[in-house]
């Protein structure tokens, strides 16, 4: 069990450092990094503090520590993934609206150019 | 000129994606049937010469910068038409399946019935069929599903040969289903207590290119549309609008 908890601790530290690194290089926006940082911190606390893991195990009713950790990690990542699905959906809607707007503006511009050209030819 | 429509003006929109082989003929047919009515081809970022062919045939072309899919492409046309002040918009597909000879019937019904949407239907009369067995089964299935939702029988819910008036145009320019929009659009209108009517028309085999509907996509289509119908029924925003 201790080996598993160590692996989770290391993974949570790697996750935290990776997110911070991405933030520093502006590969991820601050508002989208919060979920991952919170997940990394939660995993680190649960895997390094036996008291916290025991409390979580009795709270979930699973009793087995590692199983509780896997379950909580699954729940946390599910929430993060759901949140990002919503973000992606919003971005797609915005992207479509923007694309349509660009197409319409280009249409107006083209029409205006054609009108100008026909006026000059008269 | 497309920019300054008269009060009662009509716009024909033709969504097209890689339809260089058919769209020119479609535009010429439309112009022969309803001379003087502007035709707007919405090119959904085709990789072939769809836009050039459509322009050469006498259509205006609205080119979207990346592939949006049918719903996004049609909505772009609706948005432009609404912005320009058109009262009626009739949509035909760019593959030549919709015979432009029925445009006057759709337009007449739109003007006289007061319905917000008129559908060109291959099933109102029995002589308008030009569809596969699988699609025929799908259409029957959706007829049964839609009957209680719409409170009226719809014979050809998957038809993309559709005319709308300015009220529907306003709704669709703000909210239009993005994938497989025909059936969901009916539910969107029903949520606003709008009415539709069907007029008989004949569908032809596509004049060029290949259909994107495969057996696997048909299953995806059914699931997607069922979910879309359910979502449109449940949408809170829709209920607010209706009050």
CA B208 – CA B46 distance, rounded (Å): 14
B56 φ, ψ (degrees, to nearest 5) = -60, -35
pLDDT at B67 over 90: yes
Is B178 within 8 Å of A96 when comparing Cβ atoms?
yes
Best of B66, B76, B231 to mutate (most A CBs within 10 Å, chain A) = B76
**What element of type H or E holds B12?**
strand B10-16
pLDDT score recorded for residue B207:
64
Q: Would you put residue B54 in left (φ > 0), alpha (ψ -120 to 50) or beta?
A: alpha
Question: Could you tell me which of B201, B223, B198 has the C-alpha nearest to residue B115?
Answer: B198
- Which residues from B are below 8 Å from A96, CB to CB? 68, 72, 178
SS3 B101: helix
Instruction: Name B38's bridge partners.
Output: none
| Average pLDDT, rounded, for chain B | 85
Question: Could you say which DSSP state residue B5 is in?
Answer: -
How large is the ipTM?
A: 0.83
The predicted-structure confidence for B155-175, as pLDDT tens digits, reads as follows 888 889 999 999 999 999 988
Contacts of B178 in chain A (CB under 8 A): 96
Backbone angles phi, psi at B119, to 5 degrees: -110, 130
How many degrees, rounded to 5, is the angle at CA A25 between CA A21 and CA A26? Answer: 110
pLDDT value at residue B102 = 94
Name which residue leads in pLDDT, B131 or A84.
Answer: A84
Instruction: Count structural domains, chain A.
Output: 1
* Tens-place pLDDT, residues A31-85: 889 888 988 998 899 888 888 888 888 888 887 878 888 888 888 889 888 988 9
pLDDT over 60 at B62, yes or no: yes
Contact assignment for B79 to A106 by CB distance below 8 Å = no
Write down the pLDDT at residue B126: 61
Domain span at A6: 2-121
Give A50-60 pLDDT, tens digit per residue: 888 888 888 88
- Estimate to the nearest angstrom the gap between the alpha carbon of B64 and the chain centroid: 17
Q: What are the helix (H) ranges across A1-122?
A: 2-24, 30-48, 50-60, 65-121
| B80 interface with A at CB cutoff 8 Å | yes
> Are the beta carbons of B143 and B157 closer than 8 angstroms?
yes
Backbone angles phi, psi at A68, to 5 degrees: -60, -40
For residue A1, count other CB atoms closer than 10 A to its CB: 10
Taking CB atoms and an 8 Å limit, are B72 and A102 in contact across chains?
no
Tell me if B177 sits within 8 A of B162, measured CB to CB.
no
Mean pLDDT in chain A? 88
Q: Which of A89, A94, A95, A100 would you mutate first to test chain B, the one with the most B CBs within 10 A?
A: A100
How many CB atoms neighbour CB B49 within 10 A? 17
Contact at CB, A96 and B2, closer than 8 angstroms: no
Better-scored residue on pLDDT, B37 or B229: B37
If you average pLDDT over residues B206-232, what whole number do you get?
Answer: 76
pLDDT at position B154 is 87
Residue B243 pLDDT > 70, yes or no? no
User: In whole angstroms, what is the distance from residue B192 CA to residue B232 CA?
Assistant: 11
Q: Position of tokens 């003007």? A: B111
Q: Give the domains, in start order, of chain B with CATH numbers.
A: 10-242 (3.90.550.10)
Most confident of B54-63, B191-200, B229-238: B54-63
Contacts of B123 (CB under 8 A, 6+ apart): B129, B139, B155, B156
Residue with the bigger pLDDT between B48 and B128: it is B48
Task: Report the alpha-carbon distance of residue B177 to residue B186 in Å, rounded.
Answer: 10
> What is the DSSP annotation of B189-233?
HHTTT--EEEEE--B---SSS--S--HHHHHHHHHHHHHHHHHHH
Q: Which residues of B touch A105 (CB under 8 A)?
A: none
Interface A-B, measured as beta-carbon pairs within 8 A, has a size of 40
B68 and A96 in contact by Cβ < 8 A?
yes
Whether this model's pTM surpasses 0.95: no
Q: Give yes or no for B76 touching A (CB within 8 A).
A: yes
């Amino acid at each position: 069990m201790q080996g598993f908890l160590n692996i989770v601790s290391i993974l949570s530290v790697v996750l935290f450092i990776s997110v911070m690194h991405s933030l520093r290089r502006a590969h991820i926006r601050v508002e989208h990094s919060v979920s991952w940082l919170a997940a990394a911190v939660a995993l680190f606390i649960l895997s390094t503090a036996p008291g916290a893991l025991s409390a979580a195990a009795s709270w979930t009713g699973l009793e087995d520590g590692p199983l509780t950790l896997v379950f909580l990690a699954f729940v946390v990542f599910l929430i993060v993934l759901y949140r990002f699905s919503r973000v992606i959906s919003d971005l797609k809607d915005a992207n479509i609206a923007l694309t349509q707007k660009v197409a319409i503006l280009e249409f107006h511009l083209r029409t205006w150019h054609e009108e100008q050209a026909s006026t000059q030819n008269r | 000129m497309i920019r300054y429509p008269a009060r009662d003006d009509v716009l024909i929109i033709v969504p097209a994606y890689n339809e260089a082989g058919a769209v020119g003929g479609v535009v010429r047919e439309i112009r022969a049937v309803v001379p003087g009515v502007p035709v707007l081809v919405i090119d959904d970022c085709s990789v072939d010469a769809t836009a050039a062919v459509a322009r050469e045939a006498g259509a205006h072309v609205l080119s979207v910068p990346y592939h949006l899919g049918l719903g996004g492409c049609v909505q772009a046309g609706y948005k432009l038409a609404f912005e320009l002040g058109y009262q009626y918009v009739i949509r035909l597909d760019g593959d030549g399946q919709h015979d432009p000879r029925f445009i006057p019937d759709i337009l007449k019904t739109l003007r006289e019935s007061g319905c917000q949407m008129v559908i060109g239907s291959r099933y109102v009369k029995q002589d308008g069929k030009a569809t596969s067995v699988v699609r025929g089964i799908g259409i029957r299935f959706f007829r049964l599903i839609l009957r209680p939702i719409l409170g009226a029988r719809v014979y050809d819910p998957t038809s993309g040969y559709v005319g709308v008036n300015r009220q529907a145009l306003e709704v669709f320019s703000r909210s239009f289903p993005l994938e497989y929009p025909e059936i969901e659009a009916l539910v969107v209108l029903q949520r606003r207590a709008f009415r539709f009517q069907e007029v008989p028309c004949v569908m032809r085999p596509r004049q060029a290119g290949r259909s994107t509907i495969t057996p696997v996509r048909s299953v995806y289509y059914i699931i997607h549309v069922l979910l879309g119908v359910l979502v449109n029924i449940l949408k809170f925003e829709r209920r607010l609008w209706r009050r």
